[in-house]
Amino acid sequence: MSRSRPYHHGQLKDSLIQALLTLAQDTPLAQISLREVAKKAGVSHAAPYHHFESKEAMIEAATIACLENLTLHLERAIGSLPEQASPLDRIKTLGKAYIQYALAHSTEYQFINRTDVCNFQSMSNSIRLVGDRAIHLLSQLVQEAQHTGTFRKDDPAIQALTLWSTVQGLANLLLQGFVPPEQTEHTIDQVMEVGLGRFASTDP
């Protein structure tokens, strides 16, 4: 075999990250070695060092890639709405997009929700910066909903956290099979309505 052949047509980094994500579905990160990741990706045991100086560096890169994909998905969903869409419609769209991403990319979603991956107390600044983009997007929409009188003027951080908890909790329940597939769309719509209704302004 020629030594000059590019790994995975030049996609070595992505292949290694996907291999790590696959292994992490069934194995604690502490028990996964770079050699095992390389074997899963079908490359030499030295190949990971072309992009990552350590397993920790690979985990960080995988986390950032997953968060980037999620954030881009959310931003595109909001960007697809007409300019005149209300803050409420934007929040609904954001919540649905988050759940849809979790269902369509469950391996990535479950990876970034592991406590040994995205632990708020120990995550790196690089990971935090990417994660903050999605949080900022939700927070901004909540503030817009308050400004237009759609939401009560409660603590916007608490409102955002409650909405995030709602969609993440529902995403987890859907992934675990607690909702029949044929009821998925209806359930998402109903839960979003109830969740958003908690903050509806009662001002005339």
User: Is the CB of residue 127 less than 8 Å from the CB of residue 100?
Assistant: no
How high does pLDDT run on average in the chain?
89
Q: Has this prediction a pTM greater than 0.95?
A: no
d(CA 16, CA 23): 11
Give the pLDDT band (50/70/90) at residue 115. Answer: confident
Q: Which of 84, 103, 7 is nearest to 50 (CA)?
A: 7
- pLDDT, position 62: 93
Q: Is a pLDDT exceeding 60 seen at residue 9?
A: no
Quick: pLDDT tens for 20-52: 999 999 888 889 999 999 999 989 988 888 889
- The yes or no reply on domain 1-52 and CATH 1.10.10 is yes
- The DSSP code for 88 is H
Q: Tokens 């391996």 map to which residue?
A: 107
In percent, how much of the chain has pLDDT > 70?
92
Quick: pLDDT tens for 147-199: 999 999 999 999 999 999 999 999 999 999 999 989 999 999 999 999 899 89
Q: What HEC string does 109-155 produce?
A: HHHHCCCCCCCCCCCCHHHHHHHHHHHHHHHHHHHHHHHCCCECCCC
Q: Where are the alpha helices (DSSP H) in the chain?
A: 12-24, 34-41, 55-79, 87-104, 106-112, 125-147, 156-175, 184-197
The domains of the chain are located at: 1-52, 64-197
3-state secondary structure of 188: helix
- Identify the CATH number of the domain defined by range 64-197: 1.10.357.10
d(CA 196, CA 162): 10
- pLDDT, position 30: 87
User: Is the CB of residue 169 less than 8 Å from the CB of residue 113?
Assistant: no
